[in-house]
Amino acid sequence: MTVGKTALITGITGQDGAYLAQLLLEKGYRVHGLKRRSSSFNTGRIEDIYEDPHTADPRFSLHYGDMTDSTNLIRLVQETQPDEIYNLAAQSHVQVSFETPEYTANADGIGVLRLLEAIRILGREKTTRFYQASTSELYGLVQEVPQSETTPFYPRSPYGAAKLYAYWIVVNYREAYGMHASNGILFNHESPLRGETFVTRKITRAAAAISLGRQDKLYLGNLDAKRDWGHAKEYVRGMWMMLQQDEPDDYVLATGETVMVRSFVEWAFEDVGIKLEWKGEGVDEKGYCTETGRCLIEIDPRYFRPTEVELLIGDPTKAHTKLGWKHTTSSRELAREMVQADLKVMQSAPIGKGA
């Protein structure tokens, strides 16, 4: 137990925020989370910890805020006096960033500067450690494989470009002001808590729903992209490990293996007992169909991106040797866990919900 430390997590209502909050509470931290005001319920992923604020764990509290609001961030850092800040908040959907490029730059790029400035304005450069959620999307157009901390960046989306600014401003504040600020360059990580519009969860939910007769078809985009997929629960542990080091640094977290989106599709449907055959993009039978000729997956051009990141495969050697971090769940196991979790949710939900 790390008794007495205080952490501030931005993006606490997201996939990683939920796992990280759980981990830090288990370690004895006091956890503050930044939550956006929303017209609908957005604390579903942390409801086990959050519950009713009057009866919940007193070491856990949520505060309204936004990465686009400097004064709010300054006040939050002042009020919570964190030993560690984990900046996980972001408009994190790559395709959406092509439609909201300015907002994405503001929240994901300048937002990081706002938080770093809050630390500096409050004179906490030497007392608050900082973790930045950097990403394998920085690598973008393939420069070398596998991708490591020394691979040149070439982002391929407004999201990637915003995160590039964030990466370098963290490095600059570390060098200029001696801050303990680290970038975790995390490759894709998924879980049953993954957002429903990211490809893995979209696939596992659809496989579950189709197998239960609650959905007819799944529409997807580029099935040939390759991703290095790990389990989010293991990756948040790596974030924490980075902030426990004597010196700040930048680390890749990845599995070191890459898988095509189409393999993930085949695994997920295999896990619900549906064998699929690829029929190509012909006129009659198209996409993925069953042996009996029922076509369940079609390609929809709307899910293709103006510029794509075709191949990601990370080299986590530095994290292995310096942090002692290693992934344990394979992408195959991850797919199975996600499908099982979606089946369970849907089987317990009334028809029409959760599908």
Give me the active site residues, please: 135, 137, 159
Q: Residue type at 229? A: W
Interface with ligand GDR (CB under 6 A), residue from 9, 21, 49, 261: 261
* 147, interface contact from ligand NDP, ligand GDR, none, CB < 5-8 Å by kind: none
Written as one string, the DSSP assignment of 61-92 is EEEE--TT-HHHHHHHHHHH--SEEEE--S--
| Cβ proximity to ligand NDP, 195 vs 214, nearer residue | 195
Tokens of 305: 């991106």
d(CA 238, CA 183): 11
> What are 316's strand-pairing partners?
none
* 220, interface contact from ligand GDR, ligand NDP, none, CB < 5-8 Å by kind: ligand GDR
Interface with ligand GDR (CB under 6 A), residue from 107, 225, 236, 341: 225
Written as one string, the DSSP assignment of 322-345 is II-------HHHHHHHHHHHHHHH
Does residue 312 sit in helix, strand or coil?
coil
**Least Å from the CB of residue 147 to ligand GDR:** 11
Interface with ligand GDR (CB under 6 A), residue from 31, 67, 85, 199: 199
Distance of alpha carbon 177 from the chain centroid? 28
Stretch near ligand GDR under the rule CB under 6 A, chosen from 45-53, 112-120, 222-230, 252-260: 222-230
Tokens of 85: 């800040």
* 336, interface contact from ligand GDR, ligand NDP, none, CB < 5-8 Å by kind: none
Residues near 220 by beta carbon (within 8 Å), at least 6 away in sequence? 199, 202, 203, 261, 265, 297, 298, 299, 300, 303
Q: Which residues bind ligand NDP (CB under 6 A)?
A: 10-11, 13-17, 34, 36, 38, 42, 66-68, 88-92, 107, 133, 135, 186, 188-189, 195
Contact by Cβ (8 Å): 222, 303: yes
**Least Å from the CB of residue 222 to ligand GDR:** 4
* 104, interface contact from ligand GDR, ligand NDP, none, CB < 5-8 Å by kind: none
**Least Å from the CB of residue 222 to ligand NDP:** 17
**Least Å from the CB of residue 261 to ligand GDR:** 5
d(CA 206, CA 271): 12
* 256, interface contact from ligand NDP, ligand GDR, none, CB < 5-8 Å by kind: none
> Any contact of residue 83 with ligand GDR (CB under 6 A)?
no
Q: Site size for ligand GDR, by CB under 6 A?
A: 21
